[in-house]
Amino acid sequence: MILQFGTSRFLQAHVAFFAHEARIAGQLVPDIVVAKTTRGGDRDARLRGFSDPNGYDVILRGLRDGQPVNDTIRVKSIVRGLGVAGDWDVLVQIAAGPLQYIVSNTGDAGYVVVPEDRATDWPQDQAPLSFPAILLALLRHRWQSGGTGVTLLPCELVQRNADLLRGIVTGLARERGCNEAFVDWLESECVWANTLVDRIVSEALEPAGAIAEPYALWAIEDQPGLVLPFTHPDIVTTRDLEPFERLKLHILNLGHTWLAERWAVHGQPAELTVREALTDAETHAALARLYAEEVIPGFVQRGMEDEARIYVATTLERFCNPYLDHRIADIHSGHPAKVAKRIAAFIKWVEEVPADAPALAQLREIAALY
């Protein structure tokens, strides 16, 4: 079984979607159970949708190799939706029994351990509050029941996500005085695989489902003992995730942040989408120049010219998707931090190879504002 933490529309159109297509292709794919980690909120209807045996729709809309795509796929890889707070006993049974894989996408604050999970003991019949503590408690139940290690494939958009999550979970285990044999089991018997995900999922459907672009990537860092739950054309295993991370962060994400900066400076409409912005010839030409004159030369400096040129072409096609409404106002949320990660970090990365470094004048001007 695959236990998925997070009810996001992204995972519905990414991991669960891949699992469904792999099953249709004839692979033996474990069922997915989705667990909502947060208390309250408006996701209970979505959990009920996950438990519907008829599945949910993923609508793929966009361009693939210049050709329009508008397909609806009924996804049936998720068999049940559970709430950590209300269904803890069921999750404990899953952890002690059929669990093989754990997938997560818990948002920007997903790895934060709240003080309550550090200060108090956890009753056996009650879930902790934060995701790392929930994960620790369930894995401890598995270890106590004599279960084998599991494979963890976190999908949060943080660099080396599995290494970070493993450090937080094992650190919390030691902080709470867990048995050292259990900590060793966490570190040596469980497989923690760093991953990178890439797909624009622009809209949720109710009660479950999503609208997404055709393009997708799940890059997974290979390591000894890693056996994936299924294969898929959009899943890549690699010895080195960094090239994939750099392309996404400093081309697609950088382009989004550049558009958000332009949107804010020019006081453009609140509902403006990426697609609408790129229909303006001046904006499209300016972004293309930025890529050609500053971004690609930066990748040339790092020995990634061919990869960058291909990814830039793909990114511009994705930005011009005639079907998706990706609001620039949403992209602008947390703008200073995004400028730091996507633009300032790119400048620093390029400058690490100082010989004949490109000027990067426009990018430096934006970075200097924050």
On whether both 41 and 9 belong to a single domain, the answer is yes
What pLDDT was estimated at residue 41?
A: 63
Averaged pLDDT of the chain? 93
Residue 51 has pLDDT above 80, yes or no: yes
Domain boundary among 203, 238, 273: 238
The reply to whether 183 and 87 lie within a common domain is yes
**pLDDT tens, position by position, 59-88:** 999 888 878 899 999 999 999 999 998 899
Q: How confident is the model at residue 196 (pLDDT cuts 50, 70, 90)?
A: very high
Q: Are residues 263 and 207 in the same domain?
A: no
If one counts every other C-beta atom within 10 angstroms of the C-beta of residue 69, the result is 15
Mean pLDDT value across residues 115-127: 79
Residue 84 sits in the same domain as residue 39: yes
How large is the average pLDDT for residues 117-141? Answer: 87
Distance between CA atoms of 102 and 95, rounded to whole angstroms?
A: 10
pLDDT band at 42 (very low <50, low <70, confident <90, very high): low
Q: Are both 185 and 280 inside the same structural domain?
A: no
Q: Is the CB of residue 99 less than 8 Å from the CB of residue 147? A: yes
**3-state SS of 117-130?**
HHHCCCCCCCCCCC
* Res 64: pLDDT: 83
Share of the chain above pLDDT 70, in %: 98
pLDDT category of residue 355 using cuts at 50, 70 and 90: confident
* Percent of the residues in the chain that have a pLDDT greater than 90, as a whole number: 82
Give the pLDDT band of residue 323 (cuts 50, 70, 90): confident
In this structure, are 220 and 349 located in the same domain?
no
| Structure confidence at residue 126 (pLDDT) | 83
- The domain tally of the chain equals 2
Contacts of 310 (CB under 8 A, 6+ apart): none
Q: How far apart are CA 65 and CA 22, in angstroms?
A: 23
Read off the tokens for 208. Answer: 């479950």
Q: Which of 217, 238, 259 is the last residue of a domain?
A: 238
pTM here is 0.89
What is the distance between the alpha carbons of residues 295 and 302, in angstroms, rounded to a whole number?
A: 11
What pLDDT is stored for residue 119 in this prediction? 74
Residue 247 pairs in a beta bridge with none
Same domain assignment for residues 234 and 254: no
* pLDDT, average across residues 325-338: 92
Query: Final residue of a domain: which of 219, 238, 257?
Result: 238
Asked whether residue 40 carries a pLDDT value surpassing 70, the answer given is no
Does 139 lie in the same domain as 35? yes
pLDDT digits (tens, 9 = 90+) for 131-158: 999 999 999 999 999 999 999 999 998 8
Residue 210 has pLDDT above 70, yes or no: yes
What are the CB-based long-range contacts (under 8 Å, 24+) for 47-55?
47/7, 47/81, 47/82, 47/83, 48/81, 48/207, 49/81, 49/206, 49/207, 49/208, 49/209, 50/7, 50/78, 50/79, 50/80, 50/81, 50/208, 51/79, 51/80, 51/81, 52/208, 53/79, 55/20
Q: In whole angstroms, what is the distance from residue 316 CA to residue 131 CA?
A: 36
For residue 357, the model assigns a pLDDT of: 77
> Are residues 203 and 287 both part of a single domain?
no
Are residues 134 and 170 both part of a single domain? yes
CATH number at residue 296: 1.10.1040.10
CATH of the domain at 158: 3.40.50.720
| pLDDT, mean of residues 248-255 | 96
Q: Is the pLDDT of residue 120 over 90?
A: no
Instruction: Kindly state the average pLDDT of the residues 20-47.
Output: 89
Bridge partners (DSSP) of residue 83 are: 36
For residue 360, pLDDT over 80 is answered with yes
Q: By mean pLDDT, which of 114-118, 133-137, 338-342 is the weakest? A: 114-118
232 and 246 housed in the same domain: no
Provide the pLDDT for residue 125.
73
Q: What's the average model confidence in pLDDT over 156-166?
A: 93
Q: Are 202 and 265 in a shared domain?
A: no
pLDDT > 90? residue 217: yes
The residue among 354, 154, 339 whose CA lies nearest residue 250 is 339
Does residue 324 have a pLDDT over 90? no
> Would you report the helix, strand and coil content of the chain in percent, each value rounded to 5?
45, 20, 35
pLDDT tens digits, one per residue of 90-108: 999 999 999 999 999 997 6
Which residue range forms the structural domain that includes residue 125? 2-238
